[in-house]
A and B are shown apart, each in its own frame.
Chain A
Amino acid sequence: MSGELLAIFVGALLINNFTLAYFLGLCPFFGVSARLTTAFRLGLANVFVMLITSLAAWGLETFVLVHAPYLRLITYIVVIASTVQFVEMLLKKAAPALFRALGIFLPLITTNCAILALALFQTSRGYGLLQGLVFALGAGGGLTLALVLMAGLREETELSEVPSLLRGTAMSFFIAGVLSLAFMGFAGLFSGSG
């Protein structure tokens, strides 16, 4: 059991990293990775939203959508967005410091593809509650890892003489490409295939 959870976690964190292997959540990945601190916070916000999403999707799937699976997409979107907003309000009251750190990123990611994909994958893989939460933790951690590495690298390029045509987006894609190459080394890690 714990072996399976480890495989789910490492799978989502490293092997099939949402950003670098599944191409999910690229917009914030490229948009908000110019500064290390913001990137890190965005990552944390992602972990947070993903945990909520996983919970919401599991609840929907178990109690609501059993008889109307065709409404899955539309309910996911609506429910995830509103749950996150609700939790955001709670957070504002209960933990204002945390809210200040993460707050501005929440609207940015509540309905982005990484979040929705997390819900869809979790469902299509038939994960239960615990598996889903571990999956969300791994996926969110993976996004954070990718974001933080990316931000560090991008800050470094600012001191370099990057050719002018490459500055900006193309450069970010090359960094992501090489990062993605490097992450291929994690293939099969802890999945019992080694």
Chain B
Amino acid sequence: MPDPITPSAELLKGLWRENPVFVQVLGMCPALAVTNSAVNGLAMGLATTFVVVMSSLLVSSVRRWVPKQVRISTYILIIATFVTVADFALQAWTPALHRELGAFVALIVVNCLILGRQEAFASRHSVVPAVADAAGMGAGFTLALVMLGSVREVLGMGSWFGLSLFGPRFEPWVVMILPPGGFLMMGVLLLLFACVADARRRAGGRLYGGREAA
């Protein structure tokens, strides 16, 4: 990795250049499963961000003391703990949301994004960059989920974050909030990302003030 590691850069790369969903195609299951509305996407994104940030924090601070044979097991234990905490918290304070997200909160445990970050980054860096990286990834993940959730909610229910957009006579595209809609919309967004990245590569320009794409 030739780039200098600065917290702000770590934060930003997760949004676009290494966006976990659109670029790395990680954590697809929750990204599709819960994004039938923007609010669900946001909640899932935030819960995931919480888990990844806390886990990174812990993992990077204890990284010196964890022998490598049990590294993964320890990480999983740490992640599972935070997921359980998040799950209880959601159940206690936002029961309705928890009903919507269902088992997918628990399934954050196995989100490849989180374990991936611990393996690839937190276990090799000190606390500040690790947390910045995790926050960036979490933000990128949240951004992607909210984008997907927004498109699906707007078309599928005619509303955005529950606000009706087109009036009562709008004909919702039910497919968008059904499983096929998730796959198809994800395909469309990936296509758009590819188009933008392609155009950007050709123009040699930059977006988000990020570093130049390879």
Contact = CB atoms under 8 A, between A and B. Distances in A.
Contact of B110 (A116, A166, A176): A116
B184 interface: yes
B28 A23 contact: yes
Given A27-B112, A73-B87, A181 B190 contact: no
B98 to A, nearest CB: 13
Contact of A113 (B29, B88, B183, B190): B29
- Chain A interface residue bracket vs B: 35 or more
Classify the interface of chain B: helix, strand, loop or mixed.
helix
B109 A73 contact: yes
Nearest to B33: A23
Interface in A15-52: 20-27, 30
Contacts of B107: 24, 113, 116-117, 120
Find the residue from B33, B80, B187, B188 having the highest chain A CB count within 10 A.
B187
Nearest to B111: A113
A170 B180 CA distance: 14
Interface string A40-79: 0000000000000000000000000000001001100110
A124 B103 contact: yes
Given A27-B28, A116-B109, A121 B187 contact: no
Nearest to A71: B84
Contacts, number: 101
Contacts of B6: none
A83 interface: no
Interface string B177-198: 0111111101110110011001
A169 B29 contact: no
Interface string A107-133: 000011101110011001000000000
Nearest to B112: A27
Find the residue from B28, B80, B179 having the highest chain A CB count within 10 A.
B179
A40 B97 CA distance: 37
Interface in B64-123: 73, 76-77, 80-81, 83-84, 87-88, 103, 106-107, 109-112
A30 B29 CA distance: 11
B29 A177 contact: no
A27 B187 contact: no
A23 B87 contact: no
A30 B191 contact: no
Interface of A: 20-27, 30, 70, 73-74, 77-78, 81, 111-113, 115-117, 120-121, 124, 165-166, 169-171, 173-174, 176-178, 180-181, 184
Interface of B: 25-26, 28-30, 32-33, 73, 76-77, 80-81, 83-84, 87-88, 103, 106-107, 109-112, 175, 178-184, 186-188, 190-191, 194-195, 198
